[in-house]
Amino acid sequence: MADTFSLERVLETFRSSLSETKEVYMKYYIAGWQELVSFMNSLGNVFSFISKDVVSKIQILENFLSGENRSCYVTIQSMVKYELENELVDLTKRGSHPESGCRTLLRLHRALLWLELFLERLRTSKEDGKTSVMCSEAYNESLAQHHPWLIRKAVGVAFCALPGRDTFFDVMNAGDHTQVVALLGESLPLIAEVYQITEDLYAKNNLLELP
Ligand SMILES: CCCCCCCC/C=C\CCCCCCCC(=O)N[C@@H](COP(=O)(O)O)[C@H](O)/C=C/CCCCCCCCCCCCC
């Protein structure tokens, strides 16, 4: 992973994550999240409790990807099939498989909806748009429903420390603001497609509420 964040690389990883048959490659899905974490790390320590959580989830998935059953973890579809067929998922309450690939990826999947909603707000925002408002509206429409009160409060405090819209656009390293908006317009359908494919797969297998 390169040191400097680039929106273009996020776009590339999510593009690469889709196979011709619309399966989602775990390797690139994880790489996309790693890029996003590098962006969050550049925002300061106030976000470290969030990035630690994402990093630990990425690590769990990477361990599966490099473990002895790695061939079963090539795509999200193969992971779901393998873990369900081998009863490796805690379906109703946490038990002997508290860190299955399916439940771990579900947490990132829910966060992908937040990202999609936030980036769409950013893309269509006016010059005086507030990133903290965009972030918290997107959060309330997605992840917040899955988080307890304490986390929601901590996240609300972190949002107040977000830099302004101009800084966000600059850190994306994608040229001037018009170019960033264009690239966001290109990235969002890809992120939305990856999200929807995963959502449909999880819904079909009754995995959307994994503990
Ligand atoms: C294109 C670039 C522009 C935007 C870049 C944004 C970069 C964002 C990077 C990461 C986003 C945060 C992902 C958060 C994943 C949260 C997963 C989760 O829900 N974990 C909770 C449940 O896990 P389990 O306990 O069941 O294992 C966990 O309890 C949560 C802990 C920490 C709080 C997570 C808050 C998420 C807030 C999302 C907004 C992030 C704002 C970042 C600002 C750029």
pLDDT in tens, 20-76: 999 999 999 999 999 999 988 888 888 899 999 999 999 999 999 999 999 999 999
CB-CB contact of 115 with 39 (8 Å): no
Q: Strands, E, within the chain: which ranges?
A: none
- Is 188 touching ligand 1 by the criterion CB < 6 Å? no
Question: Does the model's ipTM exceed the 0.95 cut?
Answer: yes
- 75: helix, strand or coil: strand
Side-chain half-sphere of 26: how many Cα atoms within 13 Å? 26
Please name the residue whose Cα sits nearest to atom 43 of ligand 1. 40
What's the mean pLDDT in 73-80?
98
- pLDDT on residue 2: 57
pTM, whole model, 2 decimals? 0.96
Q: Which atom of ligand 1 is nearest to the CA of 7?
A: 1
How far apart are alpha carbons 46 and 132 in whole angstroms? 14
Rounded to 5 degrees, φ, ψ at 54 are -65, -45
**Which amino acid is present at 120?**
E
> 68, 74, 105: which is closest to 89 by C-alpha?
105
Please name the residue whose Cα sits nearest to atom 18 of ligand 1. 107
- Is 107 touching ligand 1 by the criterion CB < 6 Å? yes
Q: Which domains does the chain have, with CATH numbers?
A: 7-88+106-204 (1.10.3520.10)
How far apart are alpha carbons 78 and 74 in whole angstroms? 7
How close is the Cα of 141 to the center of ligand 1, in Å?
A: 14
- Is 139 touching ligand 1 by the criterion CB < 6 Å? yes
